[in-house]
Chains A and B, each alone.
Chain A
C-alpha cells in the first residue's frame, strides 16, 4: 500500500489469491481491530487471540466481500461477530468459574492505551462504546458504522448522542481537567 492504494482494491486482490495484498491488509487492519477489541475492557492476551480468530474467519469468508462496497465496515462486522461470540462465551464461563475469574483478575495485563480508552469509555453501554470506538477513535463514517453494526444510520446517531450526553455528564462533572490535560491524572 501502500495505504494510498485503497482497501477495496487490496480486498479484491486478496480474493484473487494475492499474498502480498493479504499481508498488507493484515498489517493495516490488525492494529485497528486490536484497538477495537481493547476498547471493550479486554485483556491484551484476549485481544491477541481474538485478532487471530478474526483473521481466520476473514480468510474463510473473504468471498463474501463484494467489489465496490466499503471494505472497512466488512472487517469490523466480522470482528464484531467474533467479539460478541467471545463475550457470550466468557459470560457463560464466568457464571461457572467465578472463583477462577477472581484469581485471574490480579494477573490480567492491559496495555496503557487500553486502560486510557477503557477508563474514558467506562460509563457507556456496550453498544455505545462500540459506536464511539468505531466513529471517533477509528474515524469511520456514520454509514460505515451502521453497516458494521447491521444497524441504521439513525440508530447510530441516536447512540452517539446518548453516549456524548453520558460522557459530558461523567467526564465534565467528576474529573474536570483530567482528560483535557491530555492524560491520566
Chain B
C-alpha cells in the first residue's frame, strides 16, 4: 500500500459527517457565557523573559551582597568577563524557554532536557577552561556547603519566576518545572560565583554546577506536585 492510498483512506474518514449533539454545544455556550468578560492577554515573550532574568539576577546579587562578593573580587578580568556573561546568556535562554513552556502551543526550540544538558555542559566547558587549580581541600564539606547555598538561592529564584508567570498555563507542568528549576539553578550558580572564593577546579566543576541539575529535578517534582494539587482542588470544587 502506498502513502497516497493511506492518505486517501484517512481523508475519507475525516470527511465522514460529525454527528455532534447540538445540545452539547449549547451546554458549552451556556457554561462559558456567565463569565465571559474581556481578558488582558499576556505581555510579549521578550518582556516576560527580561523580567525573569532581572528577578534571577536580583536573587543572586542579594544573596552575594548578604554573604560577600569574595568570589567576584578574587576573579581576574578574563574570568569575570567570561563567567558572568556566559551565565547571563544561559539564563536568558532558560528564561525564554520557560516563557514558552507557560504558553500553550508555543514553538519550542529547545526541549527542557536539552536546555538542562546545554546549561550544564556549557558551564562545565567554561569553568574547566578557566579554573586550573587541581587541588582538592575539604572536597565534600566545602562542596556540600556550596551546593546548599546555591540551592538556597536557586529555589527562591525558581519560585519567584513561577510566580511571575502565574497567569500562564503549562500544558506539561513537569517540563515547565524542570525549566524553572534550571533557570533558578543558574541564579544559584551566579550567586556562588559572586560569593565563593574557592577556585579549585574540582570544587567548582562538581559542586557549583551540580546546583543546576539538582534544582531542575526539584523544579520538575514541584511542577508535577502542583499540577496534581490543582487537579485535586478542581475536582473538589466540582463536587
Contact = CB atoms under 8 A, between A and B. Distances in A.
Contacts of A80: 171
Contacts of A35: 14, 18
A117 interface: yes
Interface stretch (A21-29, A93-101, A102-110): A21-29
Interface string A157-178: 0000000100110011000100
Nearest to B44: A66
Contacts of A176: 1
B169 A61 contact: yes
Interface in B1-20: 1, 3, 5-7, 9-14, 16, 18-20
A137 B35 contact: no
A67 interface: yes
Interface string B142-174: 000000000000000000000000011101100
B108 A151 contact: yes
Interface residues of B, number: 47
Contacts of A56: 31-32
A42 interface: no
A184 B87 CA distance: 60
Contact of B20 (A23, A31, A69): A31
Contacts of A26: 25, 28-29, 32
Interface residues of A, number: 61
Nearest to A64: B169
A116 interface: yes
Contacts, number: 139
A150 B102 CA distance: 11
B48 to A, nearest CB: 11
A147 B105 contact: yes
Contacts of A7: none
Interface in A112-136: 113, 116-117, 120, 132, 136
Contacts of B168: 64
24 contacts: A16-B38, A17-B39, A19-B33, A26-B28, A26-B29, A30-B20, A55-B28, A55-B31, A61-B169, A66-B42, A70-B105, A80-B171, A81-B171, A113-B13, A117-B13, A132-B10, A136-B10, A137-B14, A146-B107, A148-B105, A150-B106, A150-B172, A168-B1, A182-B12
Q: Which 7 A-B pairs have the closest CB atoms?
A: A172-B1, A73-B105, A77-B104, A31-B18, A136-B10, A63-B39, A17-B38
